[in-house]
Structure 1
């Protein structure tokens, strides 16, 4: 399918990219993984997403940074031994298809679907669609529909890596309640206030947080609005980035993951659908 005028198709190292350039913003999407790599609103021309300079952009591995699509499980929560199935599911390592695009006064809307949504570990009949709208804001909707005759359960996430100038001058607002701390045997803890990042952080906040703010140097930089989520994940590897092959030693200083997530299990009956949506609002 040929895209609309605001979208240019390019290829590099065997991957196909969709480059969006309209009156309101620019963006880049890799069809490998259905992976959003860039969002730059023209209101301030500042990149909102972070991609590792060492990311694999050749299809050999999932891309480090941007917005990876986690589905139909989050992390290694697939019911088998860790490593038996790919972490975060199998959508982020397959080639997606462009199934629609349109331009309007509010921006450019692109609709994508993965090559398949049934594989080892998830053998249910369903369809998955991702709708991305690039304008003054970026809206990303991940839509799962049960097309079979039996109910199934799944988890998913929009694993967004946000770019920040200085992690030590970054604060999160709007997050409350308890979280599970992966770094402390999944202990339940209360959300800190003020919410700053001072070391390795891997937390699943267990409330369906709808609006979170990323504040840098005392001013709100980006607002993250979530819909259809039951949790919000916050992650920064800190100096542990040195052990991650596709991150550089100091990459943690310029990124913070705030992930719109389903981590507690969502059941879809036949014919039902669910939309997980994240809206990135520049401030």
Structure 2
């Protein structure tokens, strides 16, 4: 991509510029009166969001991430679409779908105010490499950078037959010490434990992480809160269009098997993911659309 041309078309003086980031990938750098942010056009992925009053980024980004076409960037908020988790048809397609592994198209940038900036990215059916997904579609990802981080992923069925998807914002949140973090809002929810062959269990009390965890919560509340006493903040997650939530941390043993994570990185993040996952299958009729939304905001602990 031509960085200079992208800046001529989409740059906003004093607020937004397109830069050559890690691995030479084009990235959108935002600095406004509320926050700074970094968005990778590759993957349509928010990599950083840091309100001006915060000493630490809201998001975790691995220092060992690959910035190579065909590989996902580890951290930030990857977009999982049109499936979450392993290939549902067993065709050896990539985990979490294919849109996080390819370039999106920068469609629009807007200054809402000195304190809020919006970016729109497109991904559509003209992408033909994923030849095992044949349904015509278009994705529109709207990103709002202001006092909070706002995401809206809209799937358009541009074909003449219905299709079904699962999807998620695979958000990695930076924390001070995983052993001291608590997640509120999932109390008494049923969940499927992916580390125990999907055994169904009930969440007793708030979620605390003391070992590897990989859970899909069903009938989850739309408002979840990560309480981090070390960084002295609460991360609020609001997702009005979902009934499932995912909580994941690989812990020490699995982290050592992941080349794009340092051995001790598991201590510094928790994934609490808004999405339509597992049984929350979304069927989209021809000419129709569906939006997944999430709002991430901070409050002092």
TM-score bracket for the superposition, by shorter chain length: over 0.9
- Compute the displacement of 1:220 (Å): 4.8
Q: Does 1:185 align with 2:212?
A: no
Q: Does 1:157 align with 2:168?
A: yes
Aligned counterparts of 1:140 and 1:131: Cα–Cα separation in 2: 6
| Per-residue CA distance 1:54-88 (angstroms, 9 max, x = gap) | 1112335210000001000011142125xx11111
RMSD: 1.6
Q: Which residue is 1:78 aligned to?
A: 88
Secondary structure at the counterpart of residue 67 of structure 2? coil
Whichever structure has more strand as a proportion of its residues is 1
- Compute the displacement of 1:250 (Å): 0.4
| Per-residue CA distance 1:144-172 (angstroms, 9 max, x = gap) | 01111111101111000000001011000
Preserved CA contact (<8 Å) 2:186 2:206: no
Q: Which residue is 2:216 aligned to?
A: 204
Preserved CA contact (<8 Å) 2:87 2:93: no
Secondary structure at the counterpart of residue 143 of structure 2? strand
- Compute the displacement of 1:195 (Å): 1.3
Secondary structure at the counterpart of residue 266 of structure 2? helix
Size of the alignment, in residue pairs? Answer: 281
- Compute the displacement of 1:101 (Å): 0.8
- Compute the displacement of 1:244 (Å): 0.6
Q: Assess, with a 3 A threshold, how the Cα gap between structure 1 residues 220 and 189 changes in structure 2: closer, same or farther.
A: farther
Q: Does 1:251 align with 2:265?
A: yes
Q: How does 1:1-283 map to 2 (within 5 A)?
A: 1-5=9-13, 6-12=15-21, 13-80=23-90, 84-105=92-113, 106-114=115-123, 116=125, 119-176=130-187, 177-217=189-229, 220-239=233-252, 240-263=254-277, 264=279, 265-283=281-299
Aligned counterparts of 1:250 and 1:76: Cα–Cα separation in 2: 25
Aligned counterparts of 2:11 and 2:141: Cα–Cα separation in 1: 16
Preserved CA contact (<8 Å) 2:185 2:206: no
| Per-residue CA distance 1:172-223 (angstroms, 9 max, x = gap) | 0011310110000100011131310010000000114201000012865210
Q: TM-score, normalised by structure 2?
A: 0.89
Bigger mean CA deviation after superposition, 257-266 or 72-81: 72-81
- The runs of 5 or more residues in structure 2 that have no matched partner are 1-8
Aligned counterparts of 1:19 and 1:269: Cα–Cα separation in 2: 36
Secondary structure at the counterpart of residue 245 of structure 1? coil
Secondary structure at the counterpart of residue 195 of structure 2? helix
Preserved CA contact (<8 Å) 2:165 2:282: yes
Structure 1 runs, 4 residues or longer, greater than 6 Å off = none
Secondary structure at the counterpart of residue 179 of structure 2? helix
Aligned counterparts of 1:212 and 1:41: Cα–Cα separation in 2: 19
Q: TM-score, normalised by structure 1?
A: 0.95
